[in-house]
């Protein structure tokens, strides 16, 4: 994990957000700098995915502010947000089932070339073996690997990933963690939502624990005992 302290790429303050009249988040604050990972964890239904949607502009906060490199996200038109250098892999609907694995991987590239995946195919050879199969025929864990490879290949300065470990085999989790650490060393920033504490603490510099839409634990991961982290998940 990185020890560098730089100006935050992403900052969010007093985020209140939800759906219709129901506010799921109740004033969330945080930030992540270049070369670091912010880990967000908590039990099911506490607002983790809602936070990710608010941070990426998928939903608009009822109040509060999200800034990326000083630009307020809510003031940037949706079609221009990708230019801010933000990539987002959601928890659900992570692939286009009716398209091939190859088409899923190349949709974001004008050339439709797979060249950006050469290194990733060496790490995840299963994806290369399945290139011409419909993505919908992959297992749940394989779909997560496909989504992960696609988002990593974008090489964005800021990447947000929601529950990347879900259904993924242990050896591939270790490979995912190594890839994230390599990107951190290059100066990238990540926000990762996870319930797998072993995976999350292997990559995160700072942790935020959520319960009922509020931050109940926040601090550097090196200062967090396993018991304190598990207590948040047990709430």
Q: How far apart are CA 120 and CA 123, in angstroms?
A: 5
Which residues have a Cβ under 8 Å from the Cβ of 109 and sit 6 or more positions away?
116
Q: How far apart are the C-alpha atoms of 179 and 37, rounded to whole Å?
A: 13
Query: In the prediction, which pLDDT does 1 show?
Result: 47
Helices 140-153 and 170-185 pack at an angle, to 10 degrees, of 10
Can you give the pLDDT at residue 94? Answer: 82
At 95, give phi and psi (nearest 5°).
-135, 165
Pick out the chain residues at pLDDT < 50. Answer: 1-4
Long-range pairs for 92-100: beta carbons < 8 A, 24 or more residues apart: 94/143, 94/144, 94/146, 94/147, 95/135, 95/136, 95/138, 95/143, 95/146, 95/147, 96/135, 97/134, 97/135, 97/136, 98/134, 98/135, 98/136, 99/134, 99/135, 100/131, 100/132, 100/133, 100/134, 100/135
Percent of the chain with pLDDT over 70: 96
Domain 8-94+151-234 sits in CATH 3.40.50.720: no
Which residue, chain included where needed, has tokens 């072993």? Answer: 198
Q: Do residues 208 and 217 make contact, with C-beta atoms less than 8 angstroms apart? A: yes
DSSP state of 84: G
CA distance 95 to 235: 32
Which of 66, 78, 17 lies closest to 213 in space, CA to CA? 17
* pLDDT at 104 (0 to 100): 95
Q: What whole-number distance in Å separates Cα of residue 138 and Cα of residue 142? A: 6
Give the chain's end-to-end CA distance (angstroms, integer): 28
What DSSP element (H or E) covers 144? helix 140-153
Q: Which of 162, 206, 177, 181 is nearest to 56 (CA)?
A: 162
């Amino acid at each position: 994990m990185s020890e560098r302290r730089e100006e935050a790429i992403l900052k969010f303050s007093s985020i209140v957000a939800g759906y219709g009249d129901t506010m799921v988040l109740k004033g969330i604050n945080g930030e992540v700098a270049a070369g670091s990972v912010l880990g967000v964890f908590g039990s099911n239904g506490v607002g983790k995915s809602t936070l990710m949607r608010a941070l990426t502009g998928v939903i608009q906060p009822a109040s509060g502010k999200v800034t990326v490199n000083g630009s307020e996200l809510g003031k940037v038109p949706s079609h221009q947000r990708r230019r801010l250098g933000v990539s987002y892999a959601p928890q659900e609907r992570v692939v286009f089932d009716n398209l091939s694995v190859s088409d899923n991987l190349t949709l974001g590239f004008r050339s439709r070339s797979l060249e950006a995946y050469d290194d990733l195919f060496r790490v995840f050879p299963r994806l290369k073996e399945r290139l011409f199969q419909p993505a919908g025929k992959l297992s749940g864990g394989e779909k997560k690997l496909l989504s992960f490879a696609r988002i990593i290949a974008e090489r964005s300065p800021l990447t947000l990933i929601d529950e990347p470990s879900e259904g993924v085999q242990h050896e591939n989790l270790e490979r995912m963690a190594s890839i994230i650490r390599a990107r951190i060393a290059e100066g990238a920033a990540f926000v990762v939502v996870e319930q797998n504490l072993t995976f999350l603490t292997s990559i995160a510099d700072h942790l935020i624990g959520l319960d009922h839409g509020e931050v109940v634990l926040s601090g550097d991961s090196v200062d967090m005992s396993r018991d304190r982290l598990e207590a948040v998940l047990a709430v």
